Amino acid sequence: MTDSEAWPRSAAAFAEAVKLMPGGVNSPVRAFKSVGLTPPFIQRGEGAYLYDIDGHKYIDYVSSWGPLILGHRHPEVVDALEKTLREMGTSFGAPTELENELAREITTAMPAVEMVRLVNSGTEATMSALRLARGYTGREKVVKFAGCYHGHADYFLIQAGSGALTFGIPNSPGVPATVAANTIVAPYNDLAAVEDIFQKAGEEIAAVIVEPVAGNMGCVPPLPGFLAGLRTITKEYGSLLIFDEVMTGFRVAFGGAQALYGIRPDLTCLGKIIGGGLPVGAYGGRREIMERVAPSGPIYQAGTLSGNPLAVSAGLATLKVLKKPGTYERLESLSARLEKGLKEAAAEAGVPVTFNRVGAMFTTFFNPGPVTDYATATASDTRAFAAFFRAMLRQGIYLAPSQFEAAFMSLAHREDDIDCTIAAAREAFKGIAI
Ligand code: PLP
């Protein structure tokens, strides 16, 4: 069946969209290019499900790329948004008590974050954290890891993951060579490479930025000792360690990857879950560093909509639900059930896969593995992934449309949904094995 037969309204909407927006979308991976389909257009979401404008229902494992850990339109988030809208308004550009509340939640959940600044996206959080690291240390260079994505600012679009990796354009045109020259790229999980970089240029390095669990080359957990090694090396050379927890914050544990692995970074970047599905980001860290941010210090950063009351309300409502006892245990048990079922289904069909998972974020790599870095992730069979993806979508399972993305479990998923997903995967794997 062709796209236009299975998704006639979506195909028509996409044909219109490509005339109006580059690639028909407002963020590249949504175009479904790497899976050879045109994207279903979404009508609505409810709990663990998405509904498209062609009348299909899907079990959703994208969760808006991570923010919707409670599922779509969770009643407490909807109530909080309605209350803020009716009783307050949409934006003031002036302080509100809500901002204190969210800042308090974040600083309590993450003791390394002694002060925090709210922004509007993960990209803004990482850009601002790097400016702060440079201003604080008086140094210009930054170390990042191949396959890690930190948003679309110039100095991070160097061998970036996510959409850039999917499309095979690791260095975007438009990124000045002078900017790229200050970004040093190391292989993920390779401490020896980082030591080598620091021996050569340690005194010039403002910061190391890392996804403490990589999600943007697919899910790649840190090997034992990797994050602790980064902590030791950065401390030795007076560089800052920045954890980009935009994806992992409040997902792999309430206190993020820093709580899970027991590492105290100097700065932390957040986004996604802390906005409950509305546009938010945040960066924070040691008080002495954060006090260098304007207006208490000279390092400038600002935002018309920063601390927006609707976004902050949605984030607060989300964190309130996540704090209830048993939530992370529930996410773990659902995710473990899916892991077990998918591994068995792949083995039955004789398809070699590597299933990487940390809590409620995971990726099925079409690759015998192990997958520990960019080189091993990109050794995956992307054609097999695309075939699997298409077979899953046709059976009502909505996965991330790229091999190099993480999938996300939500608290709205039920055991039945997991079992349906495993049954669909059994069929999809069989199709690949033939
Ligand atoms: N950092 C990480 C780890 C991310 O996963 C993302 C987005 O997926 C970003 C930064 C950028 O966030 P945003 O898309 O909100 O700008």
pLDDT at 163: 52
For ligand 1, say whether the CB of 74 is within 6 Å of any of its atoms.
Answer: no
From the CA of 156, how far away is ligand 1's center (Å)?
11
Dump the DSSP string for 248-270. Answer: TBTTTBTTHHHHHHT---SEEEE
Q: How far apart are CA 7 and CA 10, in angstroms?
A: 5
Rounded distance from Cα 150 to ligand 1 centre (Å): 6
- pLDDT at position 434 is 61
Give CA–CA dist 277/73, Å, rounded: 9
CB neighbours of residue 287 within 10 Å: 11
What ligand 1 atom has the least distance to the C-alpha of 122? 12
| Residues recognised as catalytic | 149, 244, 272
Strand order in the sheet with 42-46: 42-46, 49-52, 57-60, 397-398
Q: How far apart are CA 85 and CA 233, in angstroms?
A: 47
Q: What is the pLDDT of residues 269-280, one digit of tens each?
A: 999 999 999 999
Query: Would you give the DSSP letter of residue 156?
Result: G
How far apart are the CA of 246 and the centre of ligand 1, in A?
6
Count the helices and strands in the chain (H runs, E runs).
16, 14
Q: Please check whether residue 255 is in contact with residue 212, taking contact to mean a CB–CB distance below 8 angstroms.
A: no
Position in ligand 1 atom list of the atom nearest CA 211: 3
Coil vs helix vs strand at 4: helix
Low-confidence ranges of the chain (pLDDT < 70): 1-2, 159-171, 434
The pLDDT of residue 169 is 43
DSSP state of 213: S
- For ligand 1, whether the C-beta of 275 sits within 6 Å is no
Q: Whose CA is nearest to atom 14 of ligand 1?
A: 122
Domain boundaries, the chain: 3-61+325-433, 75-322
pLDDT at 2: 66
**Which CATH number is 75-322 given?**
3.40.640.10
Q: Is the CB of 251 under 6 A from ligand 1?
A: no
In angstroms, the CA 312 to CA 100 distance is 10
Q: Which helix (H) or strand (E) holds 105?
A: helix 97-109
Kindly state the helix (H) or strand (E) to which residue 357 belongs, with its residue range.
strand 354-358
Ligand 1: residue whose CA is nearest its atom 5: 247
Question: Which residue has the CA at smallest separation from atom 10 of ligand 1?
Answer: 150
Residue to mutate, 128, 150, 404, ligand 1, most ligand atoms under 8 Å from C-beta: 150
Residue 155 CA to ligand 1 centre (angstroms):
14
Partners of residue 284 on adjacent β-strands = 116, 268
Handedness of CA 88, 47, 259, 138 (dihedral sign): negative
Confirm or reject CATH 3.90.1150.10 for domain 3-61+325-433, answering yes or no.
Answer: yes
The pLDDT, as a whole number, for residue 77 is: 98
For 335-374, what is each residue's pLDDT tens digit? 999 999 999 999 999 999 999 999 999 999 999 999 999 9
pLDDT at 349: 97
- The verdict on the CB of residue 244 being under 6 Å from ligand 1 is yes
Whether 3-61+325-433 and 75-322 share one fold: the answer is no
Instruction: State residue 3's pLDDT score.
Output: 73
Q: Which atom of ligand 1 is nearest to the CA of 123?
A: 16
Residue closest via CA to ligand 1's atom 1 equals 150
Beta bridge partners of 397: 59
- Under 8 Å between Cβ of 99 and 303: no
The complex scores an ipTM of: 0.99
